[in-house]
Structure 1
Amino acid sequence: MIRITDIYKSYQIGKNTLPVLKGIDFNVDKGEMVSIMGSSGSGKSTLLNIIGILDEADRGTYNLDGIEVKNLNEKIAAKYRNQFLGFIFQSFNLINYKTALDNVALPLYYQGVSRKKREEKALFYLDKVGLSNWAKHVPSELSGGQKQRVAIARALASDPKVLLADEPTGALDTKTSYGVMELLQQINDEGKTVIIVTHEPDIAAMTKRNVELKDGLIISDKIIEPVRATLYV
């Protein structure tokens, strides 16, 4: 599914070059649930951005579902993101003046899906995350946990091959965080590949594989028996 080989990435800070990734090899198979951990500056968000085709490596190769991701113009990059990837962010990234239904339907608009089918699919995924009764509410009328569930429904709406979650529980209290993780575990149980960036060990313990970065290198990569979030919800 994801094949990353010898990836390097640096950023120019004034006259200085800051190396962030220093030769990363990272593979993810279909159906895995992986957490990427590391302290601030370890490179975990940069790695996720490269996987999400939001940034491009300086060196190395990246294959996504058999397609080499390299030197893409923004139109092609957006097409691949919409076709293969669903994004979940710490800050939810919902459009404040649109309803939950419209937020979830938005990726389908860019796929050219008719309005009727967009709304049908959006309502289906809102129901999947337990929010069908909140379809007509705007984000300001939702709790943090509800907003994240809308964001998850939006990420699922275009039926991506991989869900990428950047600190999805970072803005939530513990109980709400575990509720979100319970939902992500259920989605993974159904066969969806899930990659989560987190700095929280208890959240990482709910995934099936823990990858740790330090100073731009993977220092640990372990298969674990995940803790089920239902034990804490």
Structure 2
Amino acid sequence: MIDIKNLHKSYHMGKNSLHVLKGINFSVSEGEMVSIMGSSGSGKSTLLNILGILDEADEGTYTLDGTLIKNLNEKVAARYRNQFLGFIFQSFNLINYKSALDNVSMPLYYQGVKRNVRTEKAMHYLEKVGLADWASHLPNELSGGQKQRVAIARALASDPKLLLADEPTGALDTKTSYEVMELIQGINDEGKTILIVTHEDDIAHMTKRIVNLKDGLIIDDSKVTQVRAKAENYV
């Protein structure tokens, strides 16, 4: 699904250059659930941006589902993002003046799907995350956990090859975080490939593999015994 070889990325600021990624070798197979951890400045956000086709490496190769991601103009990059990827963000990134249903159907709109089909698909995914009854509600009428569920439904709506989750529980309390992780684990159980960037050790151990970054290099990459999220343990 993901194959990265000798990835380097630097940012130039005036006469200075900051070498952020220093030769990353990394692969993810279809159906895996992987977390990426690292302190601020470790390079995890830069790596996520490259994986999300939001930035491009200076050196090395990135292959996504058999497609080499290189030298893309913005139009092609946007098409690949819509075709391959679903994004889940810490801040939800919902459109405040659109209903939950309209937010979920947005990726389908950009794919040119007809209104009745995208409404049907959006409702299907809202049902999947337990929010069918909230389809007409605006984001400001939803709790944090409900907003993240809408964001997950939106990420799934276009049936992406890969889900990229950037601190998906970072803005949530523990009980709600575990509810969201229960949902994400269930999606992975159905075969979806998921990559989660997190700084929370308990969340990382709810995945099946933990990759640790430090100073632009992978210092550890280990499979772990997955801890199943159980929100009912928290009140």
Tell me which interval the TM-score lies in, with the shorter structure as reference length: over 0.9
Note if 1:208 corresponds to 2:208: yes
Residue 168 (structure 1) shift? 0.4
Residue 12 (structure 1) shift? 1.4
2:129 aligned partner, one-letter code:
V
Residues of 2 paired with 1:58 and 1:181: CA distance?
A: 34
Residue 113 (structure 1) shift? 0.4
Which structure 2 segments of 5+ residues have no match?
A: none
Aligned to 1:30: 30
Residues of 2 paired with 1:108 and 1:85: CA distance?
A: 13
Aligned to 1:167: 167
1:188 aligned partner, one-letter code:
N
Aligned to 1:223: 223
Aligned to 2:192: 192
Number of matched pairs? 233
Aligned to 1:63: 63
Note if 1:6 corresponds to 2:6: yes
Within 5 Å, which residues of 2 pair with 1:72-151? 72-151=72-151
Residue 15 (structure 1) shift? 2.2
Residues of 2 paired with 1:147 and 1:10: CA distance?
A: 35
What's the TM-score, normalizing by structure 2? Answer: 0.98
Aligned to 1:154: 154
Residues of 1 paired with 2:160 and 2:225: CA distance?
A: 25
Residues of 1 paired with 2:228 and 2:65: CA distance?
A: 28
Residue-by-residue CA offset, 1:146-179 (whole Å, 9 max, x unaligned): 0000000000000001000000000111110011
Aligned to 1:51: 51
Residues of 2 paired with 1:33 and 1:62: CA distance?
A: 19
| CA RMSD between the two structures | 0.8
Residue 13 (structure 1) shift? 2.1
1:116 aligned partner, one-letter code:
N
What's the TM-score, normalizing by structure 1? Answer: 0.99
Residue-by-residue CA offset, 1:58-83 (whole Å, 9 max, x unaligned): 00000011110000001110111101
1:50 aligned partner, one-letter code:
I
Residues of 2 paired with 1:86 and 1:13: CA distance?
A: 31
Provide the identity percentage: 76
Deviation >3 Å, runs of 4+: none
Residue 110 (structure 1) shift? 0.5
Residue-by-residue CA offset, 1:59-115 (whole Å, 9 max, x unaligned): 000001111000000111011110110000000000000000000000000100000
